[in-house]
C-alpha cells in the first residue's frame, strides 16, 4: 500500500507495478549476461536481436529502454567481457607468488578448461567479433582494438617480470611478444573450436614459450 508524506492513501493503479531501479539494473545485467553467453558461441551479425530477447525473456520495448541499437548493445557486451577478462588475466598474470612464465601457463590452462567445459562451442567474444569486421562500424572496431591493447599490457607486464627474474633474456622485446601472443592465441582458439580439441591451444602455448626462451 502506497502513502504520501501525509500518510494519505494513493489511488490504486491497475496492472504491473513500476520497476524499481534494482529491477531495472537486473534486467540490463540479464540482457548482457545472455548476450555474452550467446555471442561467445554464435556470430554477432548472424544472431538476430529477436533470438537474444527470446532467450532472455525480455520484450523488445524493454531492450530499447537500455540500448538504443543492436550496435550499442554489442559494444556494451564488449565492455562487460573486457572487464571480466582483464580481471581474469590479472588474477593469473599478476600472481607474484608464481614464477612469471608459470603464470602465463596457468592462464592458458584455465582457458583450455573453460573451452572444454562448453565442449569447445564457446570462444573469445572479442576474437569472434574480429571475424566480422566487414559488418562492424569504425567505433566498434576501435573498441575491439582497445581490448586487445589492454590484454597485451597485462602480458607485457608479466614478461617484464620474467625478464627481471632472469627467466628470459634482456634482449626480448616484451611489447612485441605480448602482441604476438594475442595474435597467435586468438587463432589457436578458433582452431580449437573447429577441431573440438585443446591441442591447438596446447601447441601454441608450447611454441610461444619456446620462442621466449630461445
Say which CATH number the domain at 179 has. Answer: 1.10.357.10
Total of domains in the chain: 1
Would residue 44 count as lying in a domain? Answer: no
Would residue 38 count as lying in a domain? Answer: no
Distance CA 108, CA 30 (A): 28
pLDDT reading at 57 higher than 90: yes
Averaged pLDDT score across all residues of the chain: 88
Would residue 9 count as lying in a domain? Answer: no
| Burial class of residue 133, CB neighbours in 10 A (0-12, 13-18, 19+) | exposed
The pLDDT assigned to 24 comes to 59
DSSP string, 50-88: HHHHHHHT--HHHHHHH-SSHHHHHHHHHHHHHHHHHHH
The pLDDT assigned to 98 comes to 98
DSSP class of 12: P
Would residue 81 count as lying in a domain? Answer: yes
In percent, the amount of the chain with pLDDT more than 70 equals: 88
Distance CA 81, CA 75 (A): 10
45: pLDDT confidence band, cut at 50, 70 and 90? confident
pLDDT reading at 42 higher than 90: no
pLDDT reading at 60 higher than 70: yes
Would residue 148 count as lying in a domain? Answer: yes
Would residue 141 count as lying in a domain? Answer: yes
pLDDT reading at 131 higher than 50: yes
The pLDDT assigned to 14 comes to 43
Would residue 47 count as lying in a domain? Answer: no
Place of cell 601447441: 203
Would residue 193 count as lying in a domain? Answer: yes
Q: Write down the pTM of the prediction.
A: 0.82
Which comes out higher in pLDDT, residue 176 or 134? Answer: 176
**Where is mean pLDDT largest: 31-45, 81-95, 131-145?**
81-95
**Using one digit for the tens of pLDDT, what is the confidence trace for 189-198?**
999 999 999 9
User: What is the number of other CB atoms lying within 10 angstroms of the CB of residue 55?
Assistant: 13
Which comes out higher in pLDDT, residue 210 or 123? Answer: 210
What is the pLDDT averaged over residues 90-94? 97
Owning domain of residue 139: 70-213
Amino acid at each position: 500500500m502506497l502513502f504520501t508524506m501525509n500518510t494519505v492513501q494513493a489511488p490504486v493503479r491497475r496492472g504491473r507495478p513500476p520497476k524499481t531501479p534494482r529491477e531495472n539494473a537486473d534486467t540490463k545485467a540479464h540482457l548482457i549476461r545472455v548476450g555474452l553467453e550467446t555471442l561467445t558461441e554464435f556470430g554477432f551479425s548472424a544472431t538476430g536481436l529477436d533470438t537474444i530477447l527470446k532467450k532472455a525473456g525480455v520484450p523488445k520495448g524493454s531492450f530499447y529502454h537500455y540500448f538504443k541499437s543492436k550496435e550499442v548493445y554489442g559494444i556494451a557486451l564488449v565492455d562487460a567481457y573486457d572487464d571480466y577478462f582483464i580481471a581474469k588475466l590479472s588474477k593469473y598474470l599478476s600472481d607474484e607468488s608464481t614464477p612469471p612464465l608459470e603464470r602465463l601457463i596457468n592462464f592458458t590452462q584455465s582457458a583450455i578448461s573453460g573451452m572444454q567445459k562448453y565442449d569447445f562451442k564457446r570462444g573469445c567474444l572479442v576474437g569472434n567479433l574480429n571475424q566480422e569486421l566487414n559488418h562492424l562500424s569504425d567505433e566498434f572496431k576501435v573498441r575491439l582494438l582497445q581490448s586487445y591493447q589492454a590484454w597485451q599490457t597485462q602480458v607485457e607486464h608479466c614478461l617484464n617480470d620474467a625478464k627481471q627474474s632472469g627467466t628470459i633474456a634482456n634482449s626480448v622485446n616484451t611489447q612485441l611478444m605480448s602482441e604476438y601472443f594475442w595474435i597467435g592465441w586468438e587463432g589457436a582458439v578458433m582452431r580449437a573450436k573447429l577441431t573440438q580439441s585443446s591441442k591447438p591451444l596446447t601447441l601454441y602455448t608450447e611454441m610461444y614459450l619456446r620462442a621466449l626462451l630461445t
